[in-house]
Structure 1
Amino acid sequence: MRKNLFLFIALFSLLTFSCGQKAADSNKDLKMIVSGAEWFDTDSNRINAHGAGILYHDGIYYWYGEYKGDSTYWNPKVPSWECYRTEAGGVSCYSSKDLVNWKFEGVVLESNLTDTLSELHPSNVLERPKVLYNDKTKQFVMWLHVDSHDYAKAAAGVAVSDTPTGSFSYLGSMRPNDAMSRDMTLFKDDDGRAYHVYSSEENKTLYISLLTDDYLKPTGNFTRNFIDQSREAPAVFKRKGKYYILSSGCTAWDPNQAEVAVADSMMGAWTVKGNPCTGKDAEITFYGQSTHVFPVAGKEDAYIAMFDKWNKTDLINSRYIWLPVAFDENGDIEIAWNEQWNPDQVFK
C-alpha cells in the first residue's frame, strides 16, 4: 500500500510538472506588450531607450532612444522647473521583427567622455533621437535635441551612418531656421521628402521645417504652428492622405492631457481635435508623454502610439507605454488604455 502511494505521488508530480511546462511553453508564444512594466531585451537586460523613435528597414524594426545614466540628479542651475536629469549616455538601438522581442544593438551614437567642450559630453543633454533612411544618399540620418546642461542651447544635432546599427558620425548642431529647437521628431512623407518638427520659441510654438534632399539641413521652408499654445513631444504620422500630430502640453516631467491635430498638408493648416486618449487616466495620458507613432508593416490601418512614463527622480527606470491607434469613419483617432495586448491579435 505504501509502495502504491509513493507511485501515485510520483505519477501525480510528473503529470503536474508536464502540464505546468506546457503552460509555460505556451506563455512564451503570447507576444504581449505590457505597458508600464519593466521591459527587457533578449539578453534579459532592461531596455534603456527613452524619448524614442522607430525605423522600419528591410523587414526589421529599429528602436532608437536616449541611453540614460543610472544616477538621477536635480540641476539647481535651472530654477524655473524641476530639472531632473541623468548623464547623457548617447543613443541606444534595439532591433526586432515582432515588436515584442528586442535585441540590443549597442550605443550607436556614443557620448564623448573625454572632451568637456563636446556637445556629446555626458554633462550635456541628448534627447528624442529619430532616424530616417534616405533612399537617395543611402544613409541613415539621425536628428536629436542637443542642449547644454541648463537647456539654454536649444539646438538640433545631426548624425549619419551607412547602417541602421551605426556607429553614427556626429556632424554638429544648429538652431534650425534661426530658432530654438527642443522636443522634436522627424517625418518622411510618401514622396521621400522629410520634415523636422520641433518645439521652439521657449516651447510656445511648434515649427514644421522641410529638410534638404539629403535630410541634413533645413531648406528654409517652414511654418509656425499652434502659436503660443505650448505644445511639445510631437509625434507625426499619415493615414489616407491626412496628417496627424500627437503632442503634449508643457508641464515638465509631470503628465498632462494629450492633444491631436489633423491637416491635409504637412505644413498645415492644422485643426485641433482634442484628446484622443480614453480609459483609465486618459486625462493625463495614462501618466505618459508622446514620443512617436508608427505604422505596423504589412498591416492596414495598424499604428502604434509610443509614450514615455517618466520617473523624474529615477529616470533610467522610466517605463514605456505602447498602445494601438483606432480610427472611426471620419478619420478621428482613439488611443484606448490597454494594459497588455498582443499585436498579432489586434492587427490581423
Structure 2
Amino acid sequence: MKYYKILLSVLIISCSVSSIAATPDSTKAGKVNKFTPGAIWPDNHGTHINAHGGGIIYQSGTYYWFGEHKIAGDAGNKAEVGVHCYSSKDLYNWKDQGIALNVSNTPGNDIEKGCILERPKVVYNKKTKKYVMWFHVELKGKGYSAARAGVATSDKVTGPYQFLKSYRPNPGEMPFYPAGTPDSEKINCVKPASKTDGFFCRDLPGGQMARDMTVFVDDDGKAYHVFSSEENFTLQIAQLSDDYTSHTGKFIRVHAGHQTEAPTLFKRNGIYYMIGSGCTGWDPNAARWFSAKSIWGPWTFHGNPCKGEGSDITYGGQSTHVLPVAGKKNAFIFMADKWTPKNAIDGRYLWLPIHFKGDDLEINWLNSWDLNEFKN
C-alpha cells in the first residue's frame, strides 16, 4: 500500500509540473535550432522571452536583445518594470540577463513606474566607450500626449543603464534641405501648406513629437534617431551628437503627410533602407518600405515588402528592428512583434529573412527556418 501511495504522489507532482510547463510563461527549456515565428520562445529558464518592441546590438561575438518588459493583462502595456536584456551566441537560444533599465519609484520622474516606455534601442559609442539606449517615453497619466525621446547610458552592455533625460527633439530647428530644393517644397510656418506642416509648426518652439523610433549608426560612426512625428504623419531622421546622447539640430522629414510608425533602418551595398508600418493602433496593417542613396534623401516609397497570404497585415505583426547577421553577407532579419494588448506578456515575435532582388527587397512567410536560409 505504501508503494501505491508513493506512486500516486509522483503522478500528482508530474501532472502539476506538466501543467506549469504548458502555460505561456513557463515552457520547457531546451536547445533551439530554428526560428518559429509567432510561437512561444523560451529563454534559458524556459520562460517566454520578455523583450517586446526591441532591438539587438552585436558585440564581441554576442548578440544582446533589449525590449519592453511586459506583465500580464492590459495593464502590462505600461512600464511597470523597465527594459529587459537577453544575450545569445547563435540567435536561437537566449540567456536572461535581467533588467537593463529599471523604471523609477520616484513620483514625477519622467520614467516613473506606470509611464509608457517603448521600443528601446541600444548602440555603442566608440569615442566615449558608453552604451547608449534611446526609447519613446510618455509621462505617467498623460496618455500619448508627451511624445518624448528618452536616453540612458551604461558602461556595460547589459547595464544597469542610468536614465539621463527625456525631451522633444530639435526645438526651434527647421528641417535640412539639400541644395537646390525649391522654396515651394520647404515648410512655411507663416502659412502652413498642409495639416501636417501645421503640426510641425505648432511644435517648433518646444521640439518635435517623437513616438515609435529606432537608432542607426552609419559606417562613419555618426548616429541617427528615426521617429514618428507630427501626430505620426511624418517620419523624421535626426542626427545625434558625437556622444549619441542629444540631437544636433540637423534632420529631415520623410513621407510627410502619410501616417507611418514602427520605423527600422539599415544599410546594404551603400543603399539605406527603411521598413515601417501604417497607424492602426494595436491592430496589424500592411508594412511599407523606402530606400535612399543618402541618409539625407531623397527617400523613395516602394509599397509593401511582404508577399503572399497575410501580407496585408504583415502576417499579424509590426516591424521593430532589422538585424544584420554577423559573418554573413546580405543576411538581414526582419524583426516584428505580434502584439496582444489584452495580455501584453503573451506578445509573440515574428522573425523572417529578408530577400533581395537587385536593390529591391521582399519578405515572405515561413512557418520555421534557420540561418541556412541565407546562402552566403
Same fold (TM over 0.5): yes
Q: In 2, Cα distance between the equivalents of 1:128 and 1:234?
A: 10
Alignment correspondent of 2:111: 120
Partner of 1:243: 272
Three-state SS of the structure 2 residue aligned to 1:284 is helix
Shift of 1:119: 1.8
Q: Deviations over 1:62-114 (max 9, x none)?
A: 000001122314xxxxxxxxxx83343210100001000000100000011x3
Partner letter of residue 77 of structure 2? R
Aligned match for 2:90, one of 98, 103, 107:
98
Find the residue that maps to 1:172 and give its secondary structure.
Answer: strand
Residues paired across the two proteins, number: 309
Q: Which residue, out of 222, 241, 259, partners 1:193?
A: 222
Alignment partner, residue 24 of structure 2: none
Match of residue 173, structure 1, among 159, 166, 179: 166
Matched position secondary structure for 1:341: coil
5 Å-filtered alignment, 1:90-239, equals 90-112=82-104, 114-148=105-139, 149=141, 150-177=143-170, 178-239=207-268
Equivalent residue, structure 1, for 2:362: 334
Counterpart position of 2:67: 65
Question: Which amino acid in the other structure matches residue 112 of structure 2?
Answer: H
Within 5 Å, which residues of 2 pair with 1:47-58?
Answer: 47-58=49-60
Q: Which amino acid aligns with 1:342?
A: D
Whole-Å separation in 2 of the counterparts to 1:254 and 1:97: 33
Alignment partners' CA distance in 2, 1:35 and 1:145 = 25
Q: 1:29 to 1:62 in 2, by over 3 A?
A: closer
What secondary structure sits across from 2:110 in the alignment? coil
Are the structure 2 counterparts of residues 71 and 248 from structure 1 closer, same or farther at C-alpha, using a change threshold of 3 Å? Answer: same
Could you tell me how far apart the structure 1 residues matched to 2:249 and 2:223 are? Answer: 13
Judging by fraction of residues, say which structure has more strand: 1
Q: Specify the code of the residue in structure 2 equivalent to 1:49.
A: A
Q: Sequence identity, in percent?
A: 50
Computed over aligned residues only, the root mean square deviation of the Cα atoms, in angstroms, reads 1.3
Q: Give 4+ residue runs of structure 1 displaced > 3 Å after superposition.
A: 344-348
Following the alignment from structure 1 to structure 2, what is the Cα–Cα distance between the partners of residues 240 and 151? 37
**Which consecutive residues of structure 2, in runs of 5 or more, have no partner in the other structure?**
1-29, 171-206
Q: Distance in 2 between matches of 1:53 and 1:203?
A: 21
Distance, in Å, in 2 between the alignment partners of 1:174 and 1:256 is: 29
CA distance 1:165–1:87, shift in 2 (3 Å): closer
Aligned equivalents of 1:284, 1:154: Cα separation in 2: 26
TM-score, length-scaled by structure 2: 0.80
Cα distance, 1:46 vs. partner?
1.4
2:78 pairs, out of 86, 89, 96, with 86
* Stretch deviating more after TM superposition (236-245 or 142-151): 142-151
Contact 1:260 1:274 in 2 (8 A): yes
Inter-CA distance 311–199: structure 2 relative to 1 (3 Å threshold): same
**Residues in 2 aligned to 1:318 and 1:30: alpha-carbon distance in whole angstroms:** 19
- CA spacing shift, 1:193–1:34, aligned 2, 3 Å: same
- Structure 1 length-normalised TM: 0.86
Map Cα deviations across residues 154-210 of structure 1 (whole Å, 9 max, x no partner): 100000001110000100111011101000000000010000000011111111000
Match of 1:343 in 2: 371
Counterpart of 1:266 in structure 2 is 295
Does residue 301 of structure 1 match 2:330?
yes
8 Å contact kept, 1:188–1:195: yes
Q: Which amino acid aligns with 2:328?
A: K
Separation of aligned partners in 2, 1:108 and 1:29: 25
Distance in 1, Cα, partners of 2:254 & 2:274: 11
